[in-house]
Amino acid sequence: SMIVTSTIGSIKRYKRQHAPPPPFYGAWSAEEITLDGKDGLLDPDGWRQVVFQKAGSVTIELTPGARRACALALDQAAKKMTIEQCEPQKLPGWRAELSYAEPEADVLVLEGTVNGRQLRAKMRKMKFAEKKFHWIVDLEDH
């Protein structure tokens, strides 16, 4: 189970144990999303939220609220990402191949194919009300 903590000790421990935060570190919320050219905010394949917490992985929250933890391969030179091998439901052959752009601060535009469907998403970085709260999933101690 995931334990969400906001303690300073946890943050310091996290920094000691982990590499620097990955690009796009944090939670991003879909401001606009289209699938095959149609509004994807109500589509079951639509992405409501994307969380980058550690290198090599990404968590996607789908529109119905289901969450998937997936493997992430990032090619920063080409500005491309490949997402696959999602848990808990392993969908055979499911993969997303996306290009990304950062047109302005705290905005991430993703474009490409998700499981053969055309996706375009404008994601905005979520600001937590309290700057000092860091949402860290601490798996080592539990």
- Residue 90 tokens read as 């392993």
Average the pLDDT over 64-80 and give the result. 91
Average the pLDDT over 122-134 and give the result. 73
Sorting pLDDT into bands at 50, 70 and 90, what band is 1?
very low
Beta carbons of 137 and 46 less than 8 angstroms apart: no
Average the pLDDT over 100-108 and give the result. 94
Sorting pLDDT into bands at 50, 70 and 90, what band is 142?
very low
Q: Enumerate the β-bridge partners of residue 75.
A: 80
- Residue 122 tokens read as 């404008």
Whose CA is closest to 74, among 94, 100, 48? Answer: 100
Whose CA is closest to 52, among 76, 30, 37, 71? Answer: 71
For residue 68, the surrounding DSSP H or E stretch is strand 67-75
CA distance 49 to 139: 22
CA distance 125 to 3: 22
Average the pLDDT over 62-78 and give the result. 90
Taking the CA atoms of 110, 97, 87 and 136 in sequence, report the sign of the dihedral they define. negative
Is pLDDT at 4 greater than 70 in this prediction? no
Is pLDDT at 28 greater than 90 in this prediction? yes
Amino acid 124: pLDDT? 96
